[in-house]
Structure 1
Amino acid sequence: MAPQTSETLTAERILEATEEVLRRHGPAKATVVDVARALGVSHGSVYRHFRTKAALREAVTKRWLDLTSQTLSGITADEGRAPEARLRDWLTALFEAKRRKAGDDPELFATYMVLTADSGTAVGEHLADLTGQLTSIIEAGVASGAFATADPAASARAVFHATGRFHDPGYSEVWERPGIEDDFTAVVDLLLHGLRPQRPS
């Protein structure tokens, strides 16, 4: 890797290098010195962007989580589509994003499971963002008459927890099992049925 000058060394470049170091060494052995060596700079240069090793780990964890949030936010903001379709697509995109991360880069996925467990505020902020996006979709459904709930935020949290098997990293081992897509569809169908206004019998 070409040495970085002070002008080209950015926080983003440091985070990219940190991912490579974590992939190679794992969270227990990776150090700031390893990151600096990968970038061809002194460890002091890295510390100018991230004051501590904990701050660097928090930032790289947040970057990883934000990639998922950004993908989902586009679905949330698409007000030209029906809320029910947006909710189904949002949950599908979340499941697919987590499966992709676990399947395409298992070493880094395992590393991030460790980092998120140790993370200070990044995970809490990520979960709040996701449930906030769900709340926005459900509120749109209530406004259009597609959904009926007195508390969209509580319903959003319920939907998020009810689908946890399909996005919580703790369940990653089951994501490639036969029939998992059918299980996912059944759960989402049930949730959407529960959100719709109930017709008199």
Structure 2
Amino acid sequence: MTGTLTAERVLEAAEDTLRRFGPGKTTVVDVARSLGVSHGSVYRHFPNKAALRDAVAERWLRRICVPLHPVVTEDAPATERIRRWLRLLSTTKRDMAGHDPELFATYYGLATESREVVSTHFETLVGMLARIVADGVRRGEFAVDDPHGTARAMLSATTRFHHPAHAAEWDDPNLDRHFEEVWALLRDGLEGR
């Protein structure tokens, strides 16, 4: 092994090992072996296999949020930003699933085991969307009393387009049209029509 063993290096090795062996066959020993260290060295950074798997899932879910952050803070009409944010959430996950379906399935499997990590991710998404909704209320674009509750409802209403449980449906040629139909309902509700 060259260089200092960091949590980030362990996570990178864990991702590579998961890609090769899958979540059912990957062990901490496999991760340590790929790093050229003892499994005890991995345990210095992650106290057990579950903590390592949670960290891998969390890292993956954080990547999904990266392209969403700029949409939250840009200076544009909130209606436009919400539509773009929801579409970006959908296309980011669809691209990940399409680019490497086996790895996507692996991450989804890890995430479903890590309920606390998924719950935190969902609340992060709700918080981001709620900021845009609140901005729309301040600008007079929306007639909404509870931006946080509205954001949660919008994420629930659009689950088909971004939740990995629906990945098998993402190759539907009508998916984009269906998204626009759902978006029109959400927009009308936000604007109090």
**Fold conserved between structures, TM > 0.5:** yes
When residues 180 and 120 of structure 1 are mapped into structure 2, their CA distance, relative to the original with a 3 A threshold, is closer
Q: Which runs of 4+ in 1 moved over 4 A?
A: none
* 2:30 alignment counterpart: 34
Pair 1:171-2:166 in alignment: yes
Deviation at 1:194, TM superposition (A): 1.4
> 1:14-163, aligned counterparts within 5 Å?
14-78=10-74, 80-163=75-158
**Range that drifts further, 183-192 or 137-146:** 183-192
Q: What is the CA-CA distance between 1:147 and the residue it aligns to? A: 0.8
Which residue of structure 1 aligns with residue 2 of structure 2?
Answer: 4
How many Å apart are 1:122 and its aligned residue? Answer: 0.8
- Count of residue pairs the alignment pairs up: 193
How far off is 1:70 after superposition? 2.3
In 2, Cα distance between equivalents of 1:160 and 1:4: 44
Deviation at 1:120, TM superposition (A): 4.2
SS of the residue aligned with 2:184? helix
Contact 1:18 1:60 in 2 (8 A): yes
AA matched with 2:25:
K
SS in 2 for 1:158: helix
TM-score, with normalisation over the residues of structure 2? 0.96
In the alignment, structure 1 segments of 5+ residues that lack a partner are: none
Q: Does the aligned pair in 2 maintain the 1:27–1:111 contact within 8 Å?
A: yes
Question: What letter matches 2:92 in structure 1?
Answer: A
The CA distance in 2 between the partners of 1:120 and 1:95, in whole Å, is 21
Change in 2 beyond 3 A, CA 1:50/1:165: same
**TM-score when normalising by structure 1:** 0.92
1:13 to 9, 16, 31: 9
Rounded Cα–Cα distance in structure 2 between residues aligned with 1:190 and 1:120 = 30
What is the CA-CA distance between 1:168 and the residue it aligns to? 0.8
User: Distance in 1 between the 2:173 and 2:115 partners?
Assistant: 36
Note if contact 1:4-1:41 (Cα within 8 Å) is conserved in structure 2. Answer: no
For residues 67 and 82 of structure 1, what CA distance do their matches in structure 2 show?
Answer: 25
Hey, what's the Cα distance between the residues in 2 that align with 1:193 and 1:152?
A: 15
5+ residue gaps, structure 2: none
Q: Cα RMSD over matched residues?
A: 1.1
One-letter code of the match for 1:111? T
Aligned equivalents of 1:177, 1:139: Cα separation in 2: 33
